[in-house]
Structure 1
C-alpha cells in the first residue's frame, strides 16, 4: 500500500506529523513553475531556436545538443535565461562548425532578450493561498536563477509583499535549506518547502529535516527530474496549489 504521505487529499485528517519536533512556523516557496509560469517560455524559445538552425539538424537533435550545453555550463553560468542564451549561442556555433553568421547570433540574442521581458502569469490558486497563509506563518521565497530576472518577476507578480524574506540562490542544496530556514525561521524541522522540482525543492529540503510538498507542473525541465521519496513521512504530493491550505491545517 502506498504511504499516507503520497495519498493526501483535501479534508483528510492526518496523524501527528513525525518529521516535526514542534509546530510548523515557516513555509518556503519555489518561484518558477510553482508560483508563476516559466518553463513554457523556455520551450517556446527552444522551438524558435531549432527553427533558426533547421538547416543544420532536426529538432530533436538540436534540442539534445542544447540540453547537453546547458548541463555543461550550469557550473559556470548557473540557472536562468542568460545562461540559456549563452548555451544557445554555443550550440549554434557547434552545429555550424563555428561558421554561424552574425545575423544568426543577433537573432539568438534577441529571443533571449525577449525571455527577460516576458509577462508574469501567476498560477491558479497562488494569490489567495499565500494571502491566507501570510498572517499565520513566515513565508520565504527560495528561488535560483539570475538575480535581476528573478527580482523582476517577483515585482511583476504582485506577490512580493506577502513574503517575509526572499532568497535568490545559485543552487538549492541541503546546506542552503538549513541556512535559509535557520536564518528566517526556527530551523528546518519547523519548516516546509513547496515546489514543483523534486530535485531542487523537495529532496534537499527533506534532507535538511523539513517537510517537502511537491506540486507537479505540466512542464518541468528534464534536469529537475528525480525519483519521488514516496516512503518518507515528510513528503507530500498535491495536485493543486490551493490544496496547500488543507494540508497545512491537517499537519498543524
Structure 2
C-alpha cells in the first residue's frame, strides 16, 4: 500500500550517489603501499579501520580526515613516520575521493522527483560541510529538497534536533538510507520510521545489526522501489 503525504528524509552518500567506492579504491592503493610492513592485507586494513574509527570520532569525516588516517596508519604499520614523498602520495589518494563528478545511484534521477511531488522531502547527511555541499550542488538534486541538513555526525541528538527544528511528526516521517549505524538505528531510537536500502560498498564502520522483527523498518533492495511504497 502506498503511503501518501509523508516526510521523507534522505541520506546522501551511497543512498543518492556513489561515495564509499572511491574510498575503497584509495584504500586498495594504500594497502598495496604498506604491504611490506604488514603480515597480510587483512591486518593492515584492521589497523587503518581502527585509526579511521578514532579519527572520525575526534575529527569528523571527509577527505582531510581520511588523509590524516592514512598517514597515522602508515606510521603504525611501518614503525616510522611517513616521509615527504609518502605524505604527498597520501594527499593525492585523499584528493581522489572528492571528485566533482557525482554518480547517482540507479533509480534516483527518476524516482526522487516523483517522490518530491507527493511528499515533503529533506536531506540529512554527515561529513565535511563544504565537500557535502559540493556533491549536492553537482548532483542536480538540490531543488527537490525542502531543507538540507549537513551535520558532523548522525546520532540520536541529531535526529532529535531535526524533529524539533522541522516540527516533524515522527509517525509519518521516514529516514531513508544505507547505513544501519547512522541512518536506521538512531532514527528508530528517535521515534522515526526508517527505510533500509543496503549498498554493497557501505563503509564497514557504518555497519550494525538491525532487529529483523522491527516493523518500523521497511527493507528495500533498490532505490526505485520507494515509488511503490510512497
Give the TM interval when normalised to the shorter protein. Answer: over 0.9
Residue 236 of structure 1 deviates from its aligned partner by 0.7
CA distance in 2, matches of 1:99, 1:73: 17
Q: Answer yes or no: is the 8 Å Cα contact 2:18–2:104 preserved in 1.
A: yes
Q: Which residue of 2 aligns with 1:229?
A: 211
Alignment of 1:148-227 (within 5 A): 148-227=130-209
Structure 1 length-normalised TM = 0.85
Q: Which runs of 4+ in 1 moved over 2 A?
A: 181-190
CA distance in 1, matches of 2:73, 2:168: 45
Structure 2 length-normalised TM = 0.93
SS in 1 for 2:118: coil
SS in 2 for 1:84: helix
Aligned residues: 229
Residue 59 of structure 1 deviates from its aligned partner by 2.1
Alignment of 1:70-149 (within 5 A): 70-117=52-99, 119-149=101-131
Residue 118 of structure 1 deviates from its aligned partner by 5.2
The RMSD of aligned alpha carbons is: 1.7
**Structure 1 spans left out of the alignment, 5+ residues:** 1-12, 18-22
Q: Say yes or no: does 1:38 pair with 2:19.
A: yes
Distance 1:146 1:211, change over 3 A: same
Residue 185 of structure 1 deviates from its aligned partner by 4.7
CA distance in 2, matches of 1:50, 1:105: 15
SS in 2 for 1:76: helix
**Structure 2 spans left out of the alignment, 5+ residues:** none
* Greater RCO (Cα-Cα under 8 Å, separation 6 or more): 1
Q: Which residue of 2 aligns with 1:4?
A: none
CA distance in 1, matches of 2:145, 2:69: 33
* Structure (1 or 2) with the larger CA radius of gyration: 1
